Amino acid sequence: MMWWDGGGWSAGGWLLMCLMMVVFWGGLIALVAWLVQSVRNDANPGLPPGSPTGKADQVLAERFARGEIDENEFQLRRDVLHAGDSRR
């Protein structure tokens, strides 16, 4: 009978193969996460990710979309948020 010894692979060979699979799949998952994050940041280039003004703008826009505030209140609050903002 052939290959009864595991095909010549020792325990170290199997361990190395398992480790390389973890590295491969981890790298692939990290690459996909990086691509998704970069596409997401490109969608809103004017504001850095996680900026307080960006989050406030998002909450304000969501409230306006749900109809909780009218257009005048939306404009007023947005102007107050960006009063000291040099990007506008």
pLDDT exceeds cutoff 70 at 11: yes
**Same domain flag for 39 and 51:** no
pLDDT for 10 equals 78
**Same domain flag for 36 and 58:** no
pLDDT for 32 equals 96
**Same domain flag for 33 and 63:** no
**What are 34-65's pLDDT values in tens digits?**
999 888 876 655 555 556 667 888 899 999 99
**Same domain flag for 71 and 39:** no
For the chain, what is the domain count? 2
**Same domain flag for 1 and 39:** yes
Instruction: Answer whether 0.85 is exceeded by the pTM.
Output: no
Contacts of 61 (CB under 8 A, 6+ apart): 74
Distance CA(85)–CA(15), nearest Å, equals 55
Q: How many angstroms separate the Cα of 50 from the Cα of each of 5, 63, 73? A: 56, 19, 24
DSSP secondary structure string for all residues of 57-78: HHHHHHHHHHTSS-HHHHHHHH
Range of the domain at 22: 1-43
